[in-house]
Structure 1
């Protein structure tokens, strides 16, 4: 939580309880979720890091891998096990103790723009996504629903005083500017 992560506001849900994190997630620019502000809970079990946390959106999200209760279905959050799953998920794609909150959040951002069609948690969203991506059909139901929810979440963010970045340069973290050093200071620092 001490490290900034582009596209996220992270804090403890309650200051005295380390296992529930309140997540505010900005929709990535140049995606259907651009302008969205999605709230979620990242909940760590007592067995963490040997058992995966859960990630649940508090806001409505229309996505093939987000169920109607807001839980995200993604390989990285599936418990470790041997063997390939029915959807073709390899053991190496599932949870392991080397994963961390950063890798989970980055995976979820990636999943928003690139759903896993093989293992949908929301079959309606998966069906409309497939019809949209099919060049013969190009049904616009999926992108229209996602954009409508993004617009509604942006309006909610504005009411909360949160400005959602919509340009890539505002979304991305800026590297700190290094002060200019003269030759004497460079020599001193290199010793």
Structure 2
């Protein structure tokens, strides 16, 4: 009988094959190490018509052994100035929060992790978040303040610096 870890590994292998066969515009994904299906590296292109456009942002998507019952963690390796990405690069987005009730009552259960999410739906949600942050609950309070109070000044300047840095790293 297959263990939950085996089931998660099979699911991730299938998703990797699907993404290799049919790439999705806006990002690319693969394994950090060919021997570890639970550790992925993702390259996200900055969404068009945002200050992030032209940037290439590297992130790691680390899946728990309990996947798909538990969500992965996502961390940007590239520097990124954004209200929902903390200063260490950790992504704070509802779909990556453990399933069930939110103890603070901020998120509805259907906004949180569901086992139907795939690498593609996670990354597409993060790309959407880049374009449209949730500034009511920022993981990076300073970026949230810049977004709200100085969008075309300090916020734009810091994001453009990250974009340039990401281009230099290619």
TM score, norm. by length of structure 1? 0.75
Q: Does 1:56 align with 2:69?
A: no
Aligned mate of 2:92, from 66, 73, 77: 73
Unaligned runs of 5+ in 2: 1-15
- CA drift of 1:84 comes to 6.8
Aligned mate of 1:7, from 26, 34, 48: 26
**Structure with greater proportional helix content:** 2
Map Cα deviations across residues 18-72 of structure 1 (whole Å, 9 max, x no partner). Answer: 0000111111221110110111101100010000001100011100000111000
Which position in structure 1 is the counterpart of 2:45? Answer: 26
SS at match of 1:79: coil
Map Cα deviations across residues 119-153 of structure 1 (whole Å, 9 max, x no partner). Answer: 110000001111035xxxxx610011101110121
Which position in structure 2 is the counterpart of 1:132? Answer: 150
Structure 1 runs of 4+ aligned residues shifted over 2 Å read 82-86
Provide the rounded CA distance (Å) in 2 between the counterparts of 1:67 and 1:130. Answer: 16
Unaligned runs of 5+ in 1: 134-138, 158-191
Cα RMSD (Å)? 1.4
Provide the rounded CA distance (Å) in 2 between the counterparts of 1:120 and 1:82. Answer: 20
Which position in structure 1 is the counterpart of 2:101? Answer: 82
TM score, norm. by length of structure 2? 0.84
Decide whether the 8 Å contact of 1:7 with 1:26 is kept in 2.
Answer: yes
Provide the rounded CA distance (Å) in 1 between the counterparts of 2:102 and 2:83. Answer: 24
Which position in structure 2 is the counterpart of 1:187? Answer: none
Which position in structure 1 is the counterpart of 2:163? Answer: 150
- CA drift of 1:83 comes to 5.3
Which position in structure 1 is the counterpart of 2:63? Answer: 44
SS at match of 2:83: coil
Decide whether the 8 Å contact of 1:20 with 1:44 is kept in 2.
Answer: yes
Decide whether the 8 Å contact of 1:84 with 1:91 is kept in 2.
Answer: no
Aligned length, in residue pairs: 151
